[in-house]
Structure 1
Amino acid sequence: MWSSPAKRCRETCAALGVSPVIQPDLWEQSFGAWEGLAPDQICDLGPLSTEALAAHCPPEGESFLQMAARVRPMLEAASGTTLIVAHAGTVRAALAMVVGPAALSFSVAPLSLSVLDGTVGSWSIGSVNWTG
């Protein structure tokens, strides 16, 4: 059982009654200078392809591709059944191991469950955004 160090993730683990190993690499994408800003305070990027959006880096932050590259080794290190409590971006990074930047098109609800099956280099998506 792994968790992002974010307070909301640790609180979710506590509500589940589990004690996770905290993994800093599971942290959400850094939006740098955009952190905490209302959507109308962020410049409009205009229409971008999925690939361009995935590569776009907010000022002082990291792109989705950079975040996915940070998260991927952690996900690939998982063995057997591993429960991970993390962020929507982290879920999309896992999905990107199967579908690439198109993972940005997935909606990920709070407290939802997504399942990937397989091994390194041979992942498949079992479910996404299951809320029971």
Structure 2
Amino acid sequence: MLRRGLWKGTMVRILILRHAPAMPGGILAGRRDVDADCTAKDGLARIRIRIGTVPQIVSSPARRCLQTVQALGLRPDRECPELWEQDFGAWEGLPHAALPDLGPLSTAELALYRPPGGESFEDMASRVRPLLHELDRDTLVAGHAGTVRAALSLLVGHAALSFQIAPLSLTVLHRLSGVWSVESVNVTA
């Protein structure tokens, strides 16, 4: 049982939206700036209802994120380069079938693995997490699967890599006095 006054501060609700399905033409997009398929009007409408009203919207500068926010009838207050997807280096632009098999890696090993010329999950998460800590009011964050996993890593560490994150899905976290909790993960329309 919590004693009165133990939790001081303001509860911040952070809604993290993965963009609508990317249209990379069968290749690994990562940091490539590709369009989103925002034609699923019913799905967009249902996600928009789930989002409700938020006092602040921040977005990855990626075209697919900005297009998704616009398709929801919203506009970001600011674009944050920290929210870009993981840079997969030499793997970007490769067909999925051509990506190397890394063999059996633990989530901790996978989190530290850097594709040639790219960044590791941990590198990417290290640029996303400070932004999430700085948010001082309820916020919609428009980002990528990596953005969602980086946020989840605040609670579950590298095990966040085990989560499948669907396009046009919503994950909701709360922060109170520096303590994070999960309301929902990967909610789709």
Structure 1 window deviating more from structure 2 (32-41 vs 6-15): it is: 32-41
Deviation digits for residues 85-105 of structure 1 (CA, Å, limit 9, x no counterpart): 100000000000000000001
Q: Residue 17 of structure 1: which of 46, 54, 73 is its match? A: 73
Q: 1:29 — aligned with what?
A: 86
Which 10-residue stretch deviates more, 3-12 or 41-50? 41-50
Where in structure 1 do 4 or more consecutive aligned residues deviate above 3 Å?
A: none
Q: Structure 1 residues 33, 119: CA separation in 2 closer, same or farther (over 3 Å shift)?
A: farther
Identity %: 58
Q: What displacement does 1:16 show?
A: 1.4
The answer for the alignment partner of 2:36 in structure 1 is none
Matched letter for residue 62 of structure 2: A
- Whichever of the two has the greater Rg, that structure is 2
- Tell me by how many angstroms 1:120 deviates: 6.2
CA RMSD of aligned residues (A): 1.1
1:55-106: per-residue Cα shift (whole Å, max 9, x none)? 1000000000010001111111112210011000000000000000000011
Alignment of 1:47-126 (within 5 A): 47-119=104-176, 121-126=178-183
Structure with greater helix share of residues: 1
Match of 1:41 in 2: 98
Higher relative contact order (CA 8 A, sep 6+): 2
Larger mean Cα displacement after TM superposition, 119-128 or 49-58: 119-128
Q: How many residues align?
A: 132
Structure-2-length-normalised TM-score = 0.67
TM-score normalised to the size of structure 1?
0.95
Q: Does 1:8 align with 2:69?
A: no
- The answer on whether the counterparts of 1:76 and 1:120 sit within 8 Å (CA) in structure 2 is no
